[in-house]
Structure formats: structure tokens, C-alpha cells
Chains A and B, each alone.
Chain A
């Protein structure tokens, strides 16, 4: 790489068309400032998206990009990542795109551990189609398609990801630039699938849905996870978390015995899973940061290894030999 890239290099000439006040602007800015630090050439970076407001993201990043079809970005990105291991592949999706129509592709990409980073902009609503509920909307939410309240119990995206065997699971908040950058950095460094939920505010159709952590100046609600450090939170870090005997997590005092020290690299997913069950509604606090970051064989690498092994064993393929394989006979 010749000269150092700057944020400006990653901007395109397209006018950004998100609504004023949309959380996507903050995420875009965070990504554009982070990319130069990542140090990967623009030509080796690809953003793949599905359909939704979030999915417009690739048009605003001056890299290679594909704005594909609803829910299918992980599948498309799998073909790209597995055949081009030299590329840095990012999937940008939303709560509808990834968890409704795209649910199947999401869980399979995660269990395969394909080497790309999935950024799910969760605004708990369908924005582009103007206000229907999504798989993360609260039960009973009144929306355009649910005038008497939604009947669907929502997904917990991070719990789902861990259930789908994800090797990297994290959460950040759109307007928290430092936190988002730290998560993006950790995700980029993780080889394999990285699943990042980004709390994103939709000012038009679900405004203020995340204010409890977004506008949390006093730091009362955010539980910032740092692997290796005790989990302390609250305005004066007076609170901590502790595991009950049944594996679930309870809030306790920082001075109590047995407070949890976060270990994102813990082999068993159970602790990380238990942390994903900690929500504002159930525990009065919301964890952010990297929940889980473990190493497991990467699909793309396994695929390449098999090709290498086969080629070593049988020699590079010869087309004429292939045609003549099996029983042949000559007619003169």
C-alpha cells in the first residue's frame, strides 16, 4: 500500500439519502474514519448489503460494493468470501433484512464461520417500507401493520447469534463513536464470522427507541464489557454482575463476592449467552462491547485446504485425462 488512506478517500460522490437525524450517518462516519486505521486497500474491501435503509450503505463507501436482494447478503457474501480470501468482506444489514427474510442465511453463515463481518443496524422497525414492525420490535408495538399491537415475541439478536454458533458477537451504539470503533476494530481482527448488533435510531418511524443507552450521559444504563476486566457499571461503577447457580445473571454490588470478570474468549458459549440475556427490561442495564471472540476453523480456509490437499494427492487437474477417465474403447 502506497500512501496512508484518509477518511475522505472512503467517501463516494453520491449524495447520502438517509433522513436527517438517522443513526446511519453516525455509523457511516465511524466506518469511514475506521477504515484508514484498518489499513486494507480500498480495492480489496467489499460491502455487501440486502434491502433496507441500512442496505444503502455500500453506495456511500468508496470501495467495491453490492446492493443485493432482501435477506440474501450473507449467502452472496459467502460465495464471494470463500472464493476470494484476499478480500475484506463486510455485510451490512438490518433487523428486518437479517432476522426476518434473511434469518436462514444469517444462522448458516454464522455456523459455517465464513470470514466476513456482519453489521446489523437494529432500529426495531421497518424503515424503508415506512413503519411496519420488525422481528425485534417489542410485543404489542402499535405500527402500520399492527394497529392493535404486534403479536410477535421479538428475537434477541445476540442470543440468536450465539445459538447459531457465532464465534464473534458484539454490540455497540450508533452515536457512541469510541465504542463503535473499538467493536469494529475487534471484529476486523477476528478471522471468521463476526456478528455486530448496532443500536440505531430511526427518527421517523421509531424515534428514541434506544435513548436509554444513547442519551445515557451519566452512564447509568450502559454495561461496558472489557474482556479481562470485572463487569462494573452504574454512575459510580457501584454495580456488578454475578452468575446464579442456574447460570442466569443477576445484578449485584461491586463489593459483593463472586462478581463476574468478563472473558470474551471463554471456550464455552454459556457465559456469553447469559450476558446476552441481560437487557434493560430484565436487569435495568444493557451490555455493550465484545461478548464473545473465539477462534474456530474458518469455512473459507477449510475449503481452500481441501482443494490444496486434492491437488497434492492427484496432481493439478488435466481436462483430457478427465474426459478419458473410466472405461474407454477405440473404434477404428
Chain B
């Protein structure tokens, strides 16, 4: 603990930025762990480039990690940082514009040499030319200090010693905000178990950074952010992709069906494949296919055999799977398709979030091909959304899209762990007997759900053939009969539409109950929209917020909710996709707030858009 005066803060937003090779993601995630252990509410936003390692010191190579922590419940990683830690000129150049006047700037003074300044496009050294006067600048010779601290560590080259400067920075920041470093110390020891000298170097650097803060006069004050009063229970920090992976395992356990994942590596979905590959003790089969289509195909094959078939990807991969998903629609087999959306079109910006795939997942297949869609709204919600998507897929024998995005996937937040016994049972009733006069009719539907019976190979007496051709109602034999095709098309549509009776109604957050403006969102904009609404209400204005988790079918009261309000605002990270749907289906003159920057919406801009609408109501 520090001997210097301690200032209380309610919230802090820190952004670490450096070269891709500087370990900013590691630094950020460790600071996050320390913060989580302290009990603050946290929200994080890793912001990294698509390339593995762009040239050192270059602008495209800058990797960043922003985290927002507070003594109260927070919803976003923060619109702008209070503190920017810049490890080199390129990191400063790309991030400075986001640091408000008066913000704290901690830079690695050693990195501001002529070569790096030139690479970053600086004509003069910003540390010397007065251009940073409006910030509180701490120019710390991080590299020199780190190398100095490690000079007695044997078996460590000077290059390796330099690389530990991120741990020095972490130690310093941990001291500055009173974070305990024990968790980081054990993390380092475990991670570098096979190279104890590297572990020692990192530990020494971490402690040296911490000690530096304590002894130097540059930092006169430390800060404290008290734990947040969150709902009681056991918490862990979780990213969206981790939560999604666990949700799939949960769905497997709850249904009793073995999980089969067919996937092809693609940013930002690959970590789901990697995470699930480590869960073999749950009977999880992960199949890294030769391409996206094979990945989906294998999942369909596994589903045919009675597994819970899942395929994961991002936009460019989902679009390849369209035909296979169409087959699953015709076969009426359960199939989970997880789309971790990223900026497009085409290759786009692989590591940046966007919400551009909604219309694609609804309509991007040939002909009338209805598929339910579920969208997670926060990193931890990915767990629950995965279970819900599986529930629908299994009960109705249908493919289901589960939407997430790069921000939810990599961003993290504390997650109140659910009691496993409270999770829904996903009972699956396989067909075991003939269902009509001693025969088995594979398309003789359940009267209520319109789902067809699911008879898996290995079940004697129920041998049947299914395929992509249109099939006769009830028997499932190939049929080109005109009336039959019209009937089957409508039955398939009705089956999906009928799911509305089986999902919760849309809830509206309207504290006073008499707002005239409704903000309607879906997916990862939940945090920014809710935070925006908080600001608007803090300014004395009224606004209602509803957030859709089911995009197809919509909750059964959606139209009624929309019509209650004079105005409807639909903020999206696209050019207006939910907006189009809502206008078309409910004949409501909704208006969009649309930004397609590859970054999450900022609470401030959402608040501004809401206030403008409230103002003109």
C-alpha cells in the first residue's frame, strides 16, 4: 500500500496503447483481472489490428486496450479515457485525439527517439514542442528503468529485458490505482513456468514499476476506486467468446446431446473453436474443417446423427454457409450458427465490431427460408443467449442464428455466475416408434410446435430418407406438387413465426412510465444505449429503452410497444437494418442513429441523439 495521499474516484477509464509486440493486450487483461479481484464493476474494449505483427513503431501496428472500472454498476468501456498510457510515438499519435483536455498521459520517454518519431509521422518531438501542454504528462523512461531493474537476472537477453517494460508499466499503474498485484504475480509464474528466468524478469519488472510509483515524485497521489455494490454472489470476469463457449457446453449438458462444433479459423470467432477444443472432458467434438462450408456441413451431419450441431464464424464465413443452412431448413434439423459480426463488406476490418449481418442472416438464402435469430447483448449474455438459441433449435428442429460481435467477443465484464440448477432443461424427445398406422412419417408435425419428429440413425423401424428437394407434407417423399409446395412453404414459415408464443415479451425500461421517446436496440449496443439513457435521465429528460434479444420472430408485443411512443430511435452499428425491419413490419416511422466506424457507439453520442429527438417531440 502507498504512503502517499489517496484520492477517491468513482470511476476511471484507462487506455493502454503500444506496438502489437509490446504486450498491451496482456497488460490490459492483467490490469482487468486485478481490478476484478478488487470488486469494481468493469467493462473492457480490446482494440487490436488484424495483422499479426506490423512493423515495429508503425501506425497500423498500434494495439490498444481500454478498460473502465468503477465503484458502481457501469455499462460500457467508456467513451474516452481519463488516462492514456502510450508506449511509443505511434501509439500517442493514434490515440491522443481521444484523450480529453486535462487528461493524464503516461508515455515511455525512451521510445521517443528520432526513428520512432519519424515512423509515426511526427516532424518534432511532442514531448518537447509544447503540443501536449493541455494534458498532465508523465514522461517515464520505462525501457531504461526496466532494463536497469533486470540487469542482475541471469539468462535474460537485453531484448527480453526490454520486452518486460509492459510489466513495469503494469506495476506502475497497479500502484497508481491501488490494485493488488498478487494475481498478476501468479499469472506470470504459471505462464512462464517453462522459462523461470523470464518469469523472474517479468516479476522483477512488475515490482520495480510498483516501487517506482511509490518512490518517484512524479506521481504525488494515488487513487482509490472502491468496490462496486453489485448483486451478491460469485463473480468471474468473462469475455463474450468465453461465455458463448460455456453456453454451448451448458446446452449440451442440459439437453444430454453431445456437442459437435464444425468451424474454420476466422477472426473474431476462432477463440470459440480453441476454447471448446479444451473441453473434451465434456464429450465435446471440435472439428477444424477444410473450409467454412465443410464446417457447417459436418455440423449438419452430426445433427442428423443426434448431436447438438454448431458452426461458428464471422460475416465472410457465414455467407459461405448459406446453402448448407438452407439444407438444414429443408431437413428441419437443429443447427446453431454463431455469427461473431465484424466490419465488412468483404474482408472489411476483421478485428472491429459492426452489426451489419442482421438482414443477411434473415434473408441471405435462396427462396423463402425462415430462420430464428437470437442476439446477445453483453459479453456475459452470450452464455444465456447460446442456451436460448439451442433451446429453440432443438425444440423446433431448425437452424438458429446466434449473433454476437467483435466487441462482445473480446470485451469483458464481471459475470454473476448462475446456479447451474436454475438453467432451463432442454429435453429432446427423439422418435422411437412409428407415428401413423404402423408407419413412420418423418414430416408428420407436432400440432403445437409444427416441429417434425426427430428419428436418428440407429433407431430400428424408423428408417427414412431426407433431402434438400421439396417434400410431401407428412410423408416426406419428394414432391413437386404445386399445392404441396405452397403448403410446405407456409408451414415452414408458420413454424418459425409460432416461436413467438414461446419467447418472453419485450420489456421496456421506462422509470417514470411516461416517456414519449423509445430507444430500440439489439445486440452489443446495449451498454452504450443504456448508458446514453442514463445520461439523458440525469439531465432531467425522459426516455424509454427496449432491447431485442430475439430478432426473428420478434416478441409478440413488439408492435404494441412501439406504437405506445411518439418517436422511436434505433441506434445501430450499420446503416439501418433493424430500422428497416421495424418500419416494414410494424408501420412505425422509426428513425435510425447509425455509425459504421468499427468502434462501439459512445454513450455520449447516443445521449445526444436521444436528446435531439426528445427535444423535438
Chain A residues near B (Cβ < 8 Å): 12, 14, 41-48, 51, 58-59, 61-69, 72, 75-84, 86-87, 104-105, 108, 303, 306-307, 309-311, 313-317, 319-320, 322-324, 326-332
Contacts and interface: CB of A to CB of B under 8 A. Distances in A.
Given A46-B304, A84-B305, A327-B33, 9 more contacts: A44-B457, A47-B465, A64-B464, A75-B298, A76-B300, A83-B285, A316-B281, A322-B249, A327-B36
Contact of B301 (A14, A41, A80, A331): A80
B237 interface: yes
B262 interface: yes
B279 interface: yes
Contact of A319 (B249, B291, B294): B249
Interface in B289-344: 289-291, 293-294, 297-307, 309, 323-324, 326-327, 331
Contact of B457 (A64, A104, A311, A317): A64
B348 interface: no
Contact of A43 (B305, B459, B468): B459
Contacts of B282: 316-317, 319, 322
10 contacts: A65-B466, A67-B465, A67-B469, A78-B287, A79-B307, A79-B309, A82-B302, A104-B290, A319-B282, A324-B417
B463 A76 contact: no
A41 to B, nearest CB: 7
B287 A79 contact: yes
A79 B281 contact: no
Given A79-B260, A323-B418, A44 B458 contact: yes
B364 interface: no
A330 to B, nearest CB: 5
A154 B517 CA distance: 66
Contacts of B289: 75, 108
Q: Which 5 A-B pairs have the closest CB atoms?
A: A67-B467, A79-B301, A79-B298, A317-B282, A75-B297
Nearest to A17: B478
Contacts of B291: 104
B253 to A, nearest CB: 5
A317 B283 contact: yes
Contacts, number: 206
A108 to B, nearest CB: 4
B256 interface: no
B477 interface: yes
A320 B423 CA distance: 11
B299 to A, nearest CB: 6
B615 interface: no
B466 A328 contact: no
Contact of B305 (A61, A63, A79): A79
Contacts of B235: 328-331
A319 B253 contact: yes
Nearest to A12: B465
B460 A43 contact: yes
B233 interface: yes
Contact of A327 (B237, B285, B465): B237
B39 interface: yes
B37 A329 contact: yes
B234 interface: yes
Interface of B: 33, 36-37, 39, 183, 227, 229-237, 246, 249-250, 253, 258, 260, 262, 279-285, 287, 289-291, 293-294, 297-307, 309, 323-324, 326-327, 331, 417-418, 420, 457-469, 477-478
B97 to A, nearest CB: 34
A80 B258 CA distance: 12
A73 to B, nearest CB: 8
A10 to B, nearest CB: 10
Contacts of A62: 463
Contacts of A46: 304, 457
Contacts of B284: 307
A323 B285 contact: no
B281 A311 contact: yes
Contacts of A331: 39, 227, 229-233, 235
A79 B300 contact: yes
Given A43-B462, A314-B281, A323-B417, A72 B294 contact: yes
A199 to B, nearest CB: 26
A323 B287 CA distance: 23
Nearest to B286: A303
Contacts of B307: 79, 83
A51 B284 CA distance: 31
Nearest to B465: A65
A322 B464 contact: no
A141 to B, nearest CB: 29
Nearest to A72: B297
A289 B306 CA distance: 36
Given A41-B460, A43-B462, A314-B281, A319 B250 contact: yes
A66 B465 contact: yes
B324 A69 contact: yes
A328 B236 contact: yes
Contacts of B231: 331
A310 B420 contact: no
A66 B447 CA distance: 25
Contacts of A316: 281-282
A43 B463 contact: yes
Contacts of A315: 281
Contacts of B249: 317, 319, 322
A328 B331 CA distance: 43
A61 B463 CA distance: 10
Contacts of A63: 463
Contacts of B302: 79-80, 82-83
A307 B457 contact: no
Greatest chain A CB density within 10 A among B37, B39, B284, B302 is at: B302
Contacts of A65: 464-467
Contacts of A67: 465-469
Given A44-B458, A319-B420, A14 B37 contact: no
A330 B253 contact: no
Contacts of B304: 46, 66, 76, 79-80
Contacts of B229: 331
A311 B279 contact: no
A190 to B, nearest CB: 20
B301 A48 contact: yes
Contact of B293 (A12, A44, A61, A72): A72
A63 B459 CA distance: 11
Contacts of A45: 457
A310 B305 contact: no
A256 to B, nearest CB: 45
A162 to B, nearest CB: 19
Contacts of B236: 323-324, 326-329
A58 B300 CA distance: 17
Nearest to A41: B460
Contacts of A59: 465, 467, 478
A309 B284 CA distance: 13
A105 B283 CA distance: 25
B456 to A, nearest CB: 8
Contacts of B234: 324, 328-330
A68 B467 contact: yes
Given A69-B468, A72-B293, A84-B458, A307 B298 contact: no
A45 B209 CA distance: 66
Contact of B258 (A47, A83, A311, A327): A83
B246 A79 contact: no
A311 B183 CA distance: 29
A313 B278 CA distance: 12
Contacts of B309: 79
A243 B72 CA distance: 81
Nearest to B460: A43
A68 B304 CA distance: 11
